[in-house]
Amino acid sequence: MATIKDIADRLGIAVSTVSKGLNGANDISEDLRQLVLDTAVEMGYTTKKMRKVEHRKLCVFIENMDYDTNEQFGYDVILGFKQAAIQEKWDVDVVSITPELQIAERYSTYMLKNGYTGAFLIGIALGDEWMEQIATTTIPTVLFDNHVPKNLNVGYVGTDNYEGIDLAIDYLSDLGHTKIALLNGSDGSLVSEQRLDAYMESMHNHGLPVDENLTAFGFYVADCAKYYVPDFLDRGATAILCSSDLIAQGAIAECQKRGLLVPEDISVIGFDDLPVAARMTPPLTTIRQDRCELGKSAYHTLSCLVRHVSISKTLMRAQLIRRNSTGICTR
């Protein structure tokens, strides 16, 4: 477990200031106090006061997603959730789940056995056992990027994919691109479906031709680019919009392998704005999802459901972050 000194070192402030922040002293600013608390949560430090939770426990279940370091999508989502939850004196466990676990034990049984009041599920697949159970669950449950109809106990938190995709196509269209390809994530996920819909709608609204051969479902890994990018290039695409930064990284590599320069010959846009996006060569233009705020909003939505306030959806704005992987269309 981190010590007060670890927190002080990380923030570059005195140990006594950290102590003031943790103990609610009046002579430090509210912003600094919050920063100290947030950092303490991130580093796994807890005060006695924080630990006094009186059996108030929430669970974050995560599947199909990495969250060990802040380079990975899940890290900040979970961090934001915990930061918000701990402020309201909830204890939060994070549990990795597998299809096997879901078959071995029902969702409600697992929740009750472990004394969880509610849960936040990240990365769960549509076909998973628990998804069917969650459709009718009475346990307050928030799904990241997944929606369950007509259940007052279940909420959905995500980024507005329609606006995100539209921002990207707007920008590419301004740069003169008309042959814009979409290299999507996995088929059969709500988010991939929304992004394809959004692409079709936005291309149409911009008066751009829709060529279905310029869209493909891939996977959320860089490696998938090699299966689709060569064909997009052969068909004359001058820009590739990718459903994640990692896919975009693979797409750039694939273009470069064929001797094409990014952005001179082809523009590439990612999705997420993971830390790696800014470090790529060239630095990646991407659609940002604010993962920490997504986590905080998920906590807020869950806390409403716990109080029988039935929020169905909380959607965050997407933002286009313009870097150097996009340029004027020269063809």
- Tell me which of 297, 299, 326, 327 binds a second copy, using CB under 8 A: 297
In sequence order, what DSSP letters do the residues of 39-73 get, joined into one string? HHHHTT---HHHH--TT-EEEEEE-S---SSTTSH
Which of 85, 247 has the CB closer to a second copy? 85
Q: Is residue 302 part of the contact set for a second copy (CB under 8 A)?
A: no
**Residue from 179, 195, 291, 300 binding a second copy (CB under 8 A):** 300
Q: How many angstroms from the chain centroid is the CA of residue 280?
A: 19
Nearer to a second copy, 149 or 259 (CB): 149
- Is residue 313 close enough to count as binding a second copy by CB under 8 A? yes
Q: How far, CA to CA in Å, does 245 sit from each of 183, 287, 296, 317?
A: 11, 9, 22, 18
Residue 206: C-alpha distances to residues 147, 176, 216 (Å)? 29, 11, 20
> Closest CB to a second copy among 238 and 285?
285
Nearer to a second copy, 96 or 151 (CB): 151
CB of 223 to a second copy, least distance (A): 32
- Whichever of 12 and 149 has its CB closer to a second copy, that residue is 149
Interaction between residue 272 and a second copy (CB under 8 A) = no
- Give residues 193-222 in contact with a second copy (rule: CB under 8 A): none
The span from the CA of 179 to the CA of 236, in Å, is 7
Question: Restricting to residues 155-184, which ones interact with a second copy according to CB under 8 A?
Answer: 160, 163, 166-167
Q: Is 131 exposed, middle or buried (0-12, 13-18, 19+ CB in 10 A)?
A: middle
Closest distance to a second copy from the beta carbon of 318 (Å)? 8
Name residues whose C-beta falls within 8 Å of residue 125's C-beta, 6 or more positions apart in sequence. Answer: 63, 64, 99, 131, 189
| Total number of residues that touch a second copy (CB under 8 A) | 23
| Helices 161-174 and 190-205: angle between axes, nearest 10 degrees | 40
Backbone angles phi, psi at 34, to 5 degrees: -65, -40
Judged by CB under 8 A, the residue of 12, 149, 207, 259 near a second copy is 149
Residues near a second copy (CB under 8 A): 149-150, 152, 160, 163, 166-167, 290, 293, 296-297, 300, 304, 309-317, 319
